[in-house]
Amino acid sequence: MTKIEFIEKNIIIELERLGFDEVACNIGAREAVAYFRRASNTSKNGKIFDDCLFHAKLFAKKHASKKK
């Protein structure tokens, strides 16, 4: 498993655990991977996953479907 696959898989799992729908999870994971590619060299050691998750949550909240 590559680093990108790890980030994508675990971000989806975490967002699902937080109650986001499948579409929002996939959008969040895609943004987390994009953030990882941009910032993997500038993030503090051991904090890159937390940073990716933060960005994934932001995008997932924007794109989450409205529940009735």
Expressed in percent and rounded to 5, the helix, strand and coil fractions of the chain are 70, 0, 30
Quote the DSSP letter at residue 21.
-
Domain annotation covers residue 22: yes
Q: Is residue 9 part of a domain?
A: yes
Q: Are the CB atoms for 37 and 8 separated by under 8 Å? A: no
pTM passes above 0.85 = no
Tens of pLDDT along 23-60? 999 999 999 999 999 886 766 667 888 889 999 999 99
Show the tokens assigned to 5.
């696959």
Let me know if residue 52 belongs to a domain. Answer: yes
26 found inside a domain: yes
Q: Which amino acid is at 43?
A: S
pLDDT band, very low/low/confident/very high, at 15 (cuts 50, 70, 90): very high
In a domain, 55, yes or no: yes
Quick check: is 68 in a domain? no
Closest listed residue to residue 54, CA positions, set 38, 35, 41: 35
As for how many domains the chain has, the answer is 1
The domain in which residue 19 lies consists of: 3-63
